[in-house]
Amino acid sequence: MCVCFIRKFKVVEAGPPPDVKDLFKRYTDGAAHMTAEQLRNFLADVQGDSTASTADAEKIVEQILNKRLHIAKLTRHALTLDDFHHYLFSADLNPPIRENQVHHDMTKPLSHYFIYTGHNSYLTGNQLSSDCSDIPIINALKRGVRVIELDIWPNSIKDDINVLHGRTLTTPVEFIRCLKSIKEHAFSLSPYPVIITLEDHLTPELQAKAAQMIIDTFEDMLYYPECECLEELPSPEDLKHRIIISTKPPKKYHKSKSVKSKGNKSQKDKDSDDDVWGKEPSDLVSDQEDSDSSDSDTSEDSDDELNHVGVDAYKRLIAIHAGKPKGGLKEALKVDPNKVRRLSLSEKALEKATESHGMDVIRFTQKNVLRVYPKGTRFNSSNYKPLIAWMHGAQMVAFNMQGYGRSLWLMHGMFRANGGCGYVKKPDFLMNVGSDGEVFNPKAKLSVKKTLKVKVYMGDGWHLDFKPTHFDLYSPPDFYTKVGIAGVPDDVKMEKTKIKEDNWTPVWGEEFTFPLTVPEIALLRIEVHEYDMSEKDDFAGQICFPVSELRPGIHAVPLFDRKGKKLNSARLLMRFEFV
Q: Is 90 left (phi over 0), alpha (psi -120 to 50) or beta?
A: beta
To 10 degrees, what angle do helices 36-45 and 54-69 make?
110
- Report the C-alpha gap between 86 and 15 in whole angstroms: 10
Q: Is 364 exposed, middle or buried (0-12, 13-18, 19+ CB in 10 A)?
A: buried
Helix (H, G, I), strand (E, B) or coil at 153: strand
Question: What's at 461, amino acid-wise?
Answer: G
Backbone φ, ψ for residue 323 (5° rounding):
135, 160
Closest CA to 389 of 157, 147, 114: 114
Buried b (16+ CB within 10 A) or exposed e, 211-245: bebbeebbeebbbebeeebbeebbbbeebeebbbb
Q: Lay out the sheet containing 553-560: strands in order across.
A: 493-496, 479-486, 523-530, 538-546, 553-560, 566-578, 450-460, 507-516
The residues facing 556 across adjacent strands are 573
Helix (H, G, I), strand (E, B) or coil at 276: helix
Closest CA to 569 of 461, 491, 437: 461
Backbone φ, ψ for residue 485 (5° rounding):
-120, 135
CA 68 to chain centre: 35
Q: Which helix (H) or strand (E) holds 389?
A: helix 387-391
| Residues catalogued as catalytic | 119, 165
156 DSSP 8-state letter: T
Q: Are 445 and 491 in contact (CB under 8 A)?
A: no
- Report the C-alpha gap between 139 and 381 in whole angstroms: 16
CA triplet 237, 240, 242: central angle to 5 degrees? 135
Q: Which helix (H) or strand (E) holds 462?
A: helix 462-465
User: Three-state SS across 467-529?
Assistant: CCCCCCCCCCCCEEEEEEEECCHHHCEEEECCCECCCCCCEEEEEEEEEECCHHHCEEEEEEE
Q: Is 104 exposed, middle or buried (0-12, 13-18, 19+ CB in 10 A)?
A: middle
